[in-house]
Each structure stands twice: as structure tokens, then as C-alpha cells.
Structure 1
Amino acid sequence: MSLIHADNLTHSFGDKEIFKKVAFRLLNGEHIGLVGPNGSGKSTLLKLLTGRLLADSGSVTLHPKMTIGYLEQHYDLTANLTIRAFLQTAFADLYQANNEMEALAAQMESSLEQRVLDRYGELQECLIQNDFYSLDMKIESVASGLGLKALGMDTPAVKLSGGQRTKLLLGKLLLEEPDVLLLDEPTNYLDPGHIKWLTQMLRDYPNAFILISHDTVFLNDVINVVYHLEHQKLMRYPGNYEQFNKLYDQRKQELQQAFQKQQREIQKLEDYVRKNKARAATAKQAKSREKRLEKIEKIDRPKDLPKPRFHFSVVKQPVQTLLKTKDLEVGYRNSLLPPLNLTFKRGEKAAIIGHNGIGKSTLLKTLLGEIPAINGTLSFGDRVHISYFEQQALSSSLTPLQIIGDRYPQYSEKEIRQKLAQCGLLSKHIHQGINTLSGGEETKVRLCRLMLEQGNVLILDEPTNHLDVDAKASLQKALQAYTGSVLLVSHEADFYEDWVTKVWDIEEWTKQ
């Protein structure tokens, strides 16, 4: 059964066409991985399917009885509910029926009207059929799987961080089990254990979903079809992500061969027309070949998108000991961690790991002086110049050209364009407001800004969130080659394990 039918979707941003005549049918039970480079329009396509955006042309037809759930990259939660109460809204009709039944039970203490008894029986049967009495256990299981239970089920949702709110919405969607789930980067704020739990949930998900994720291991484990969005076109590949890569490489080779063969044929026909068109004896044959040329449906020249090339330079090396702390306690009102006695030396590259909410970002912000220490001391050595990449995305209507130009007025517009292009940003991206870019494009702008800073220590808080495969590989290579020092917060061990010199495991610190 076709749940979603997209027919000839074309969409542009300003005068830049994002995709053209995209068409597909989503079938019941299909587990789709929507892949493609940053800025190819993946998040935009999901918004078109939900009606949050309207296509320039084409149509989206949804099955009339279908339910759809959408997890977007950035979600603003305003409901004044606890974690438990918010998750219970996934079954709002059942909880409302239970409340009505309890009211009827109170009424029945003084009156046994047949009407009341009948209604009570109807509600009770409805709750039993829908397994209402095990819902609280089901809600707690999902909350535990996503790390929400550890925050306290009675914690107000409005007090949660952006990543925690995203997990809360994901939990609600998984409990609702809509006919179609649309998930945009669901693993960005999940610990490895939570990703493992979500992997099993999506493997067993009984309905269809379309998933955007740059975590290729996770993606490979949960999908059975790939939609590849590139060069404004959508191609469908059966199988998981590994199978897609093989088929994609094969298709690129075949397309290159077909293009070259067609070009040789076109060249041969054009040469014949040019040489024989003016000769009376061969003019008829030349005209025939000219008509053949006009009818040829030309194959576009295969082209690869530019790959990011990140590079971070060191202007002046600092002293041997960069950072030293003594009995440092970090947190807001209460200390999150035991007193820390840390030493960080020149040339070291450390990964800071631990589950979400344990205090990784708080530690970084304390070291940077953005949050005062609760107790203890910290000191930096001479000539330490820090360049900082924070988790929080830029939110501005300014374009990447303006943002980089305002920060670094010493660079010409041409130089800034070159730097942005080096980070994998196309001309269509650098003139858009940064708040209209995808998460991956916005991250590349901030990494470009970091490349231009005059520093010798990089402090990076989850820099790989939203980056596509090529950008992540380029960043990994750049950090490995960097001659300065690095403090990195990351939940992706395969990103850092080959080049860091030490690991600061905060969970181990809390056990001491």
C-alpha cells in the first residue's frame, strides 16, 4: 500500500534550485534511509512531505487514513508538562477515557443509572483492548531507553536542554507508532547505549519510516532501502547503506562510461555533418544525421560535489603546560563532578567522554571562564590562545559571507569565498541567511570561522553533529594533522580513537 506519493516535486530557495522533479512512493513497512551531502535538501524534503513547506511545483499525496510523526533537527518545546505527562500525551485519548471512567465510578457510588453503567462498560472495554493498564510501564521503558528516566520523570519539560527536548519528542513519537515516522538526525544527542536501544526499536518498528542520519553504522543497521538525494535528483536503491555504496559506485562508473560513449557518438555525427552538409552528394545523409543529433537525449556530465578540506594552523606555540586545575569543582548550584586535578600539556589531544548530562559541556565552559567554578582553581600557561567550537548553532539572518566578513574584516570577499568553498559550501549557500541553512552547512560555516582564528588550542564540543560522511572524514584528518592541542567532546569513538593521545572519561571520575 502506498502511504506517500511524491510526484515531480521541484523546490527552490530564491533563484537556487534545490531539487527538480523528485518522485517516489513510500510503501507500508519500508525503512528508508535518506542520504546525500549537506545542503542537498534532505530536511527540506521531509518538510515538504509534512506540509511545513510548499513545493514550487509537483504534489504530495498522503493516504487518507495515514498518521505521520515528524522529528526535526531543531524543536522548540513550550508545553508546561513534566517528562511523564508529556510522554503520556502519546495516549491522550486513553488517559482522557480513564479520567471519564473514574468520574463515572464516583457517580455510581450514589446512582446506578443504566446509562452510566453502559458508558462505564464501554470505556472499560476500550481501555482493556488498548492495553491501557500497561502504558505506564511502556512509557517508563521508552524513557529509560532514551536516558530520560535518569533526569527524573517529574522534571518539567521546559527545563530540559535542547538535546533532551529532542529525545523527549522522539520518545513520544515512538510511543505513538504513527504509520510513517520522519526522523531528522535522531542520534545527535544520544549516548552509545541509547543509540543501541534506538537501533533495536527501529529494526522492530512495524510501520514505515524515512530516516536522515550521518551516523552510517546506525543507518546501516536499521534501513532496507536508500533514497539518495544528489544533484537535484532522487535515486532509489534497495538494501542497506553498505549495499547502497556498492551500487552507487557501480552506477557512477556506468554513467561515466555511458556519457563518454555518447560524447564519442555526438562528436562523430557532428564531424560528419560539418564535412558533408555543403556537398550536394552527401547533403541528404548529413541532414539525416543532424536530425539524429537533435533527437539525442543528452546525458549530463557526471560530476562530484566539492569535498571539504579543513585545515587548522598554529600561529605561535605556547609553553609546555597549557592548563592545570587544583580541586576544581564544576556545576551551577551544586558540583556535578568530584574535585578535579587535571594537567593538559602542549601537543596533547584529549577526548572528553561520558553520557549526556554528566557535565562535559559544563566542564568546557568552566575551563573557558563562561561559567564560574564552584570551588578550586584553574590556570593557563603563557601564550595559550583558545579557539572554541560550541554545540549551540548560530541563529541569525546574516549570510555566511557577512558572518565571516564581520569577524575578519582583514579578508577580502574573494578570500572569504575561497575559505567557505574550501569548507564545502557552494555559492548558493553563502548568500543564504545562516538560519535557513541545514545543520551540516551551518556547522561548516562555524568550522570555517575556526580555521581563520589565530589559536594554538582547539576546544570542540560535538563538532560532528550534522556533518556528512565526507565532511566528517576531512575534519578527522585535519585534527589528526593539527600541530596544536585539542580538547574534544564527542560521542563518536570511531571519529577520535585513532588520533587522540588521551581520554578523559567523566563517568570513571564520578566513581572515584
Structure 2
Amino acid sequence: MILLQTNDVMRRFGADVLFHNIDLQIQDHGRTALVGRNGAGKTTLLKMIAGITQPDEGTISKVKDLTIGYLAQDQGLDSQNNIWAELDLVFAPLHKMEKEIYQLEDQLGDLDSDSDQYQQVLNKYDRLQDEYKKQGGFEYESRMRGILHGFGFGEEYYDTPVDALSGGQKTKLALAKILLQEPNLLILDEPTNHLDMNVLAWLEDYLKSYRGALLVVSHDRYFLDHVVKDVYDLDNRTLTHYTGNYTQFVAYKQERLKAEWKHYDQQQKKIAKLEDFVNRNIVRASTTKRAQARRKQLEKMDRLERPETDDRSIHFQFHSDKDSGTEVLDVENAKVGYDEQVLAGPLSFTVRKPQRIGIIGPNGIGKSTLLKSLLHQIPLVSGTVKFGANLEIGYYDQEQQQLHPEKTVLDEVWDDHPEVPEKDIRSLLGSFLFVGDDVYKPVHDLSGGEKARLELTKLSFKPINFLILDEPTNHLDIDSREVLENAINEFTGTVLFVSHDRYFINQVATDVLDMHKDGITYYEGNYDDFLAEQTKRQSSIPSDNTNKQATPSTGKQSYQQSKEQQKARRKLQRQVDKLEQEMSELEDQQTQLQEKMSQPEIATDIGKLTDLQKDLDATKDKAEEVELAWTEAAEKLEEFDQQN
């Protein structure tokens, strides 16, 4: 069932069109992402869908009695209540029922149990009790505790005034309150800001089982991969729908653009050929009729528009003038904090060329403080830090305190390199999307994303062989994050970075350091490797005696036993092979359907496109079922081989 849909929605800013022809559908229980570059209009569209603003053109229709919960970006709660009392406001209707139930109980105590009035009050009491139970009256407190715990608010926080919380905590509390309200449609704009990895993992699991529908804007690609099932891409002032999570969307978009360019190029070649024939033959008596026929063919041709995408993106690379030594950094028994107050430690670890090490850990543990202590911006409480030889260090500060608020964008870079011609500085700034009059903007007027790009501009200009980065993906849109990932992966030096962006860590990290209050734990690999190893370490390992008891004695098998085992294995192998073949065929079907959908005559036919989309969705569902069956069969085959 469709809960909400937009029809041909448009938003103008003066004479400029921000977006147009916006057609979007939210299905019951849907898990939908809205993606697009910074400034494309995602938040503007969300506000229209939430009913906060109205479109300039088009309509937004909703099912009757649809409840919508909207969390704006970095929206916090302002309240004089403590945390528990503030969230308890969500259940005001239940408290009203509780009061009525108590009043009815008092009435029943005063009435004769044989009277008609007693029976009437009792019936009302029973109905109210049933409704109270149906609306969760006996479990709302446990729900509150569960959600508060999920967001990192233990019982010691319950009496804390909301106004005493940090901005990030207020945002988490606002999200907790909306989740408790359980609207039919939950609209979240960048909900993962201020959340550490443990809370993110909890939120992903919670949203997967959420009873309503979800529409989310997020730059957190790992979050999108784990939560959403379809994606709307706001690109080039219009909207395109894709089925699947974020990674699948990226692949499908590339396929679609590739197909569109192929059809466009084919048509352009055909047009050029026809025009050339007309130009060469229109004046020749013997070929005039054929040339006129070609001209009519050209006039009747439905010409494809040149495929367009808003692909403006930063492009840069880090460089060094010399190689560092193998030993880049040694940290021994370091304790970090402020004014003798220890946040974490003792911390001991090494960094070697050309590792790319990601530091993870809960918010407030002191990750940024550690980086600043390494750079001697904040003194260590105790311990030692030893840097290697020939280091050229580049530091990215998530708070952008290295930027000068009163300088212009141009001067911020040029003042560090006065010997470089202005045109070269402006060319560099242009590669970071600072063009035209943008270079004269004062730093204090820049957005968070612009400041992030400016700091990366400065880093790319100086020679570096050891990069130290503090939350480098904050404020960057997804395209810019991918460019940064490529720049780091192509960098021949060493990288030490703090990040809560799990997708980013997966793309660039060779090693992970998990920082906690009492120390730091090393893991080889990226974030997924860290999760796998953590699970492995937490699982119980059987003792040698247990292994001996669990392992049957091996001896010569009888011919009959061997024959039966071979027969059983062949059966399992045939099942695996059959499912692999089905998976391959279903993949081919999906490719054929996607190619059909990209054909110009179908792409403009909503009816045919809808039918094909249904076929594609059904094929994908079938492919998922077959893949699951194949996984189970392959595991059985592997277990069989291990046991025999």
C-alpha cells in the first residue's frame, strides 16, 4: 500500500529551479533513502513531504490519518524537564487512561456488586483495560528504558535536565522521542550525526524491525547499505528511483548512465550519417528524392537528450617530497586527558610505513585528544611519543581551528604560499569547487562542507608523507568522500585517522585500533575484519579435552560406508550446482530487464516502466531466495567435507 506520493513536484528559488518533475512513492513498511549532492535540495524536499512547507507546483497526497515523525538535521530538544519526564510526555494518552482506570476502580469499590450500575462500570473498566493493554500500557516503561539504553543513556541519566545535555545528546534524545511515538512514516535527515559505532549498530537493528515506513537522508553509506531497500537519487534537478541498498544503487546508476550514453551515441552517429547523406545528395537530381526521404526521417526522429548528471566533484591527490623511514610513530603507555584528568590510557601502539590505521571508539573517549597530544597541541598526562625520521606531517582538524575566520578563501591558501602565482592558487581552489566569487568569501561565512574542502585544499598543496586525519568525512557529501578515499588509497605515505564512518574505514584502512578507557586494541584489516575478529575473540573456544571428546576416532571405513558418503556428497554438489545456475540465470534476467528499462521508448512510458519494475523487483526477490538456499547448501557441503 502506498502511504504517500508526490506528483510532479517543483521548487523554485527566484527564477532558478531547484528541482522539478519529482515523483516519489513511500510504501507501507518501506525503507527508502533520498540521496544527492549537498545543495541538491534533499532537506527542502523532506520538509515538503513532512508537510512543513508546500511545493511551488505539483501535489503531495497521503493516506487518511497518516502520522509523520520528522527529525531535522541536528535537531535537539529544548526542555526544562529531565530526560525521563520529557520522553514520558509521549505516553500522555496512556496516563490519561491510567487515571480513568483508577477512578473506575474507586467507583467499583463503592458500588454494590449485584447492582446494574456496578455491571455497567465493570464493563467500561474491562474495555478500558483492554484498550490500555492494546496501546502498550504495560510495556511503555520498558520501551523507554530500552531506547534510552540504545542511545547510551543509562539510569544515571534519567534525572538529568534536558537543558544540561550537549548538542549531540539533545539530538539523540530528539530521535529517541520520535522513535517512541512510532509514527506511520518516520522521516530522518542525517540521523547518524553524533552517534558512535555501538549506537549506530543498535539503531540499524531497531530501524530494520520498525513497524512503520522510513524515509532517510544520510551520508553514512554503511548505514544506508544495512537499512534501506530502495533509493531515490536527486540528481540534475530531478529524481530517479532505484531498487536496492546504496551499493546496489551506485552500480545500477552506472549501468543506467552507461546504457543511456550508448543509445545517445548510437543515435548521434545515425543522425550524423543521415545529415551527411542529405548534405551530399540534396542538390543532385539523381539522389534528391532519397535525400528528401532522409531529411523527413530526421525531422520525425524522436531525439534523445544528452545524458546529464550533476557530476561536479573535487579532485586532488596528496604528495610528498621525500620518503619517510619505516618506523613512523611509537606510542608507549600514553594517557590522554586534560588537567591530569585521564580520558583513556595507558595506550601503546606503533605506526609503520605505509599503514593506513583507523582509530575507533565511543564518543568522548579521547580519540581527537590523542591526535592533538601526538602533535603536542595538548600535553600527554603521561607516557611517551616518538616520531620517526624524515617525516612531513599533514594534519586535518575536524573542528577546522587551523582556518582563520576573517581571511578569504583565496588568502587562506595564498598566504601560506605567497611565492605561487594567483592563477595557480585559483586553479587549485577550482579543483575543490571554489570557483568565481567563491574565492572571496570570508572563512566565517563558509558552510561546514566548504570549510572541510578548504582544509583539504591546504593539505593537498603541501608535501606530506604522514597524514593525521580527525574525522575527515564529516560535512563532506558522498561524492567528496569517495574522492577522498581514492586520494588516500593512491597516497604512498602513511595515514593515521580517527573516524566513525564505517564505509570509509572499510575502503581505506589496513589496520584498526579500538580505543577504550583502559587501553587500545589492535586489529588487522578494515572495519568488517574488525567486527569478524571481535566476534571470533568473544566466542568461546573449546578446551583440548573438549576437542578430543568431540572428535570421533578415525579408522578404515567400510566400502559400503564410503559408497553411501560419495552418493550423499554428489547429491549435495548437484544441489549447489543447480542453485548456482539459477543464480546466474536470474542475474541475466535482471540485466535484461534493466537494459529494457533504459531504452528511450520505454523510459518515457510510465506504464511499461512500472510493469518492468515489478518484474525486476520479483526477480530480485527470487534471486535473494535462491542465494539464501545456495548459501545453506554450500555450508552443508562444506560441513560434510569437514566431517568426512
Q: Where on the TM-score scale, by shorter chain, does this alignment land: which range?
A: 0.7 to 0.9
Larger displacement relative to structure 2 (8-17 or 297-306) = 8-17
- Once the two structures are TM-superposed, the CA of residue 390 in structure 1 deviates from its matched residue by 0.9
2:343 counterpart SS class: coil
Corresponding position of 1:363: 370
- 1:433-485 CA-to-partner distances (Å, cap 9, x unmatched) read 99999876664344234334576654322222454555334323433444555
| Aligned-residue offset at 1:384 | 7.1
For the Cα contact (< 8 Å) 1:395–1:435, is it kept in 2?
no
After the TM superposition, which of the residue ranges 264-273 and 122-131 deviates more from structure 2? 122-131
- Higher mean displacement: 319-328 or 300-309: 319-328
Query: What letter matches 2:365 in structure 1?
Result: I
1:183 paired residue number: 188
* Inter-partner Cα distance in structure 2 for 1:431 and 1:109: 78
- The aligned counterpart of 2:548 is none
Q: 1:8 to 1:433 in 2, by over 3 A?
A: farther
Q: Which amino acid aligns with 1:336?
A: L
Q: CA deviation at 1:258?
A: 1.4
Secondary structure of the structure 1 residue equivalent to 2:192: coil
Cross-structure match for 2:359? 352
- The answer to which structure has the higher helix fraction is 2
For 1:460, which of 451, 461, 469 is the aligned residue? 469
Within 2, Cα distance between the matches of 1:259 and 1:439? Answer: 38
2:205 and 2:459 map into 1 onto residues whose CA distance is 37
2:260 aligned residue: 255
Quote how far apart the aligned CAs of 1:354 are: 1.2
Kindly tell me: are residues 81 and 485 of structure 1, through their superposed partners in 2, closer, same or farther at Cα, counting changes over 3 Å?
farther
Alignment equivalent of 1:265, drawn from 262, 270, 290 = 270
> Are the counterparts in 2 of residues 393 and 443 from structure 1 also a CA contact under 8 Å?
no
Using the size of structure 1 for normalisation, the TM-score is 0.78
Distance 1:13 1:35 in 2: 21
**Contact 1:38 / 1:441 at 8 angstroms: preserved in 2?**
no
Tell me by how many angstroms 1:262 deviates: 1.6
Maintained 8 Å contact 2:18/2:41 = yes
The equivalent residue for 2:145 is: 140
Contact kept? 1:38, 1:438, Cα under 8 Å: no
Mapped pair 1:49 → 2:49: yes
Residues 109/196 of structure 1: CA separation in 2 closer, same or farther (3 Å cut): same
List aligned pairs for 1:5-404, cutoff 5 A.
5-11=5-11, 17-52=17-52, 55-95=55-95, 98=98, 126-149=131-154, 152-277=157-282, 290=295, 292-303=297-308, 305-314=311-320, 328-331=335-338, 334-340=341-347, 349-365=356-372, 375-376=381-382, 387-390=395-398, 403-404=408-409
Q: Which amino acid is 2:145 matched to?
A: E
Contact 1:252–1:302 (8 Å) recurs in 2: yes
Q: Quick one: distance in 2 between partners of 1:250 and 1:377?
A: 53
Seen in structure 2, the aligned counterparts of structure 1 residues 165 and 416 have a Cα distance that, compared at 3 Å, is farther
Does 186-195 or 309-318 show the bigger shift? 309-318
SS at match of 2:199: helix
Please, what TM-score do these two structures have when normalized by structure 2? Answer: 0.64
Asked if 1:490 is matched to 2:465, the reply is no
Contact 2:336 2:366 in 1 (8 A): no
Q: Which stretch shows the higher mean deviation, 330-339 or 423-432?
A: 423-432
| Higher alpha-carbon deviation: 386-395 or 201-210 | 386-395
Any conservation in 2 of the 1:35–1:228 contact (CA below 8 Å)?
yes
* Larger mean Cα displacement after TM superposition, 157-166 or 8-17: 8-17
Residue identity matched to 2:398: E
Match of 2:591 in 1: none
Partner Cα separation in structure 2 for residue 393 and residue 100 of structure 1 = 57
Closer, same or farther: CA 384–437 of 1 in aligned 2, 3 Å: closer
Cα deviation code 1:331-359 (max 9, x no counterpart): 47843224556777887654322122323
| Structure 2 unmatched runs, 5+ | 112-116, 522-644
C-alpha displacement at 1:259, in angstroms?
0.5
Moved more, 389-398 or 239-248: 389-398
- Structure 2 residue identity aligned to 1:227: Y
SS of residue matched to 2:25: strand
Contact 1:387 1:453 in 2 (8 A): no
Structure 2 contact 77–173 (Cα < 8 Å) conserved = no
CA shift, 1:417, in A, is: 4.9
Deviates more, 1:249-258 or 1:449-458: 449-458
Query: Does the Cα contact within 8 Å between 1:323 and 1:343 map onto a contact in 2?
Result: yes
User: Shift of the alpha carbon at 1:267?
Assistant: 1.9
Check conservation: 1:101, 1:120, Cα contact below 8 A: yes
Q: Summarize the alignment of residues 410-489 of structure 1 with structure 2, pairs less than 5 Å apart.
A: 410=415, 414-423=423-432, 443-452=452-461, 457-465=466-474, 467=476, 470-482=479-491, 485-489=494-498
Aligned residues: 507
Aligned amino acid, residue 363 of structure 1: L
| Structure 1 SS opposite 2:231 | strand
Range moving further from structure 2, 255-264 or 409-418: 409-418
1: CA distance, partners of 2:45 / 2:446: 14
Q: Structure 2 CA distance, aligned partners of 1:2 and 1:396?
A: 50
CA drift at 1:135: 0.7
Q: Say if 1:499 and 1:211 are closer, same or farther in 2 by CA, change over 3 A.
A: closer
1:128–1:467 CA distance, 2 compared to 1 (3 A): same
Q: Which amino acid letter does the alignment assign opposite residue 357 of structure 1?
A: G
What CA distance in whole angstroms lies between the structure 2 residues aligned with 1:60 and 1:437? 34
State the match for 2:598 in structure 1. Answer: none
Q: What's the offset of the Cα at 1:129?
A: 3.4
Shift of 1:506: 1.9
Name the SS for the 1:407 alignment partner. helix
Alpha carbons 2:229, 2:243 under 8 Å: kept: yes
Instruction: Please tell me whether Structure 1 or Structure 2 has the larger radius of gyration of its CA atoms.
Output: 2
Structure having greater relative contact order (Cα 8 Å, sep ≥ 6)? 1
Go from structure 1 to structure 2 and tell me whether the alpha carbon gap of 1:432 and 1:342 turns closer, same or farther (over 3 Å shift): same
Q: Which amino acid aligns with 2:498?
A: V
Query: What's the counterpart of residue 563 of structure 2?
Result: none
Distance, in Å, in 2 between the alignment partners of 1:207 and 1:76 is 23
> RMSD in angstroms over aligned alpha carbons?
4.8
Letter in 2 for 1:23: D
Would the alpha carbon gap of residues 334 and 222 (structure 1) be closer, same or farther in structure 2, given more than 3 Å must change?
same
CA contact (8 A) 1:387 1:456 kept: no
CA 1:147–1:59 in 2, change beyond 3 Å: closer, same or farther?
same
Residue pair 2:320, 2:392 contacting (<8 A) in 1 also = no
Instruction: Report SS of the residue matched to 2:342.
Output: coil
Q: Distance in 2 between matches of 1:197 and 1:489?
A: 21
Q: Is this contact kept in 2: 1:429–1:437, CA < 8 A?
A: no
Amino acid at match of 1:25: Q
Alpha-carbon distance between aligned partners in 1 of 2:338 and 2:317, rounded to the nearest angstrom: 33
Structure 1 residue ranges without an equivalent (≥5): none
| Closer/same/farther in 2, CA of residues 482 and 236 from structure 1, 3 Å limit | closer
Contact 1:456 1:485 in 2 (8 A): yes
d(CA) in 1 for partners of 2:59 and 2:426? 36
Paired with 1:395 and 1:153, the residues of 2 have a C-alpha distance of 39
Is the Cα–Cα contact under 8 Å of residues 476 and 495 in structure 1 kept in the other structure? yes
Kindly tell me: are residues 485 and 155 of structure 1, through their superposed partners in 2, closer, same or farther at Cα, counting changes over 3 Å? farther
What amino acid does structure 1 have at the position aligned with 2:172?
K
* Conserved? CA contact 2:348–2:519, under 8 Å: no
CA distance in 2, matches of 1:437, 1:278: 61
- Aligned residue type for 1:4: L
